[in-house]
């Protein structure tokens, strides 16, 4: 997946995708072309496994750029420096080499990916796409509900403020909010 990285930044494909699902699909086709004989690839639907592989490749690549120190320390069994603001999240590398949040729900009965969500930086475009994806998929839920849904799979660093910022820019929510305000105004302006 080296085509994803340019000047140590992951831009070319992500910049052109307007949604998280579209991005995952595009990357999955890229993985197919890279790993299979292109002549054997049909135009059929992508499998769940192919989509999952693409997602893991993407997250791994983003993490390798944004959490370089954390990954370096963990791979060598060294303690994370105090300056690392992820310390409280007890990050660890899982068997897929994905940096996950540890400790929170280790002993719960939740599925593995909910116990150990994947860490996502809040200043990368993938983060915006993830927030929008969950906000739209759950019919424009508020910040807390959107955050809770995201955390079933991903853990965004300082996620609460990020989710609030992204939702504040949602056109549909803005329209609904404006409509509600107009209706309130009309109620107050109706002469008695
Ligand atoms: Zn919305």
Dump pLDDT digits (tens) for 82-93. Answer: 777 787 888 999
Per-residue pLDDT at 18? 82
| Max Cα-Cα span within the chain | 76
Per-residue pLDDT at 40? 59
- Residue 173 Cα to ligand 1 middle (Å): 4
Residues sharing a CB contact under 8 Å with residue 125, sequence separation 6 or more, in sequence order: 14, 15
- Residue 121 Cα to ligand 1 middle (Å): 22
- Residue 50 Cα to ligand 1 middle (Å): 29
Residue of 1, 5, 45, 41 whose CA lies nearest to 25: 45
- Residue 172 Cα to ligand 1 middle (Å): 5
| Bigger pLDDT: 182 vs 122 | 122
- Residue 4 Cα to ligand 1 middle (Å): 29
What is the H or E stretch that residue 188 is in? Answer: helix 171-189
- Residue 137 Cα to ligand 1 middle (Å): 10
Dump pLDDT digits (tens) for 130-150. Answer: 999 999 999 999 999 999 999
Stated pTM of the model: 0.80
Most confident of 18-27, 39-48, 54-63, 98-107: 54-63
- Residue 6 Cα to ligand 1 middle (Å): 32
Both tokens of 141, joined, read 């839920």
């Amino acid at each position: 997946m080296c085509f994803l990285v340019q000047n140590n930044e992951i831009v070319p494909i992500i910049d052109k995708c307007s949604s998280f699902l579209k991005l995952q699909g595009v990357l999955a086709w890229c993985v197919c072309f890279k790993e299979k004989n292109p002549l054997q690839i049909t135009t059929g639907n992508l499998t769940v496994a192919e989509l999952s592989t693409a997602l893991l490749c993407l997250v791994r690549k983003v993490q390798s750029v944004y959490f370089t120190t954390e990954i370096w320390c963990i791979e060598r069994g060294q303690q994370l420096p105090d300056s690392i603001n992820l310390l409280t999240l007890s990050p660890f590398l899982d068997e897929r080499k994905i940096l996950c949040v540890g400790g929170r729900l280790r002993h719960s009965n939740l599925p593995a990916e909910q116990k150990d969500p994947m860490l996502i930086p809040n200043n990368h475009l993938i983060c915006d796409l993830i927030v929008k994806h969950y906000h739209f998929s759950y019919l424009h839920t508020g910040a807390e509900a959107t955050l809770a849904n995201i955390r079933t799979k991903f853990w965004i660093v300082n996620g609460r403020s990020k989710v609030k910022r992204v939702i504040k820019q949602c056109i549909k929510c803005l329209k609904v909010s404006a409509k509600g305000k107009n209706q309130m105004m009309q109620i107050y302006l109706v002469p008695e």
